[in-house]
Amino acid sequence: MTSDASPGPLTGRLGYLLKHAHLRYAEASTRALAPLGVDGRELAVLAVLAADVPLSQQEAAARLTVDRTTMVALVDGLEAKGLAERRRSDTDRRKNLVVLTAPGRRLLRAAEAVRTEAERDFLAPLGAADATALLRALRALTAESAPDPGADPGTGPGGGF
């Protein structure tokens, strides 16, 4: 049931704070996007696919920092909803170029507006200055030198908190 009692000595931990901030925001944005029939994950894929030049599945996967096998299911879902289409590349027939359909482009615009508002609402407890400072700090932390390729802590990091 995961009842929220007092978080106790955990609110001082960076891991706990990042995890739960992400969980909170994911819930809020998922709820906001639900009427449009997509979640934040699918919206991110649509945004990447909206690039000026058509992307192959692997190129899209790389931009999303997602495995190519994961990409298969994502494109399957978007195609089933009529939001995107696979097109065999003429120059390299191994590749699927994934392009948005007209409904896909329309939905992308509408969903981005909803997402932007969800972000604003979520950050509302902070002042405008603190909100932009938060985004800047997170960008600095994630933009740092790529995570040591020789680490490989198994599947999903059990770092939890």
Partner DNA sequence: TATTGTTATACTCTATAACTATA
Partner DNA sequence: TATAGTTATAGAGTATAACAATA
As a whole number of angstroms, the distance between CA 87 and CA 41 comes to 22
Indicate which of its own copies, DNA, none lies near residue 128 (CB less than 5 to 8 Å, by partner kind).
none
Tokens of 139: 């960008």
End-to-end CA distance of the chain: 19
Residue placing its CB nearer to its own copies in the complex, 91 or 155: 155
DSSP string, 120-143: HHHHTTS-HHHHHHHHHHHHHHHH
Interface residues toward DNA, by CB under 7 A: 1-2, 39, 41, 56-58, 61, 66-73, 75, 86, 92-96, 152, 154-158, 160
As a whole number of angstroms, the distance between CA 18 and CA 99 comes to 34
Residue 18 CB, nearest approach to its own copies (Å): 4
Residue placing its CB nearer to DNA in the complex, 7 or 127: 7
Residue placing its CB nearer to DNA in the complex, 82 or 127: 82
Residue placing its CB nearer to its own copies in the complex, 90 or 144: 144
Residue 15 CB, nearest approach to DNA (Å): 11
Q: Which of 93, 89, 100, 116 is nearest to 52 (CA)?
A: 100
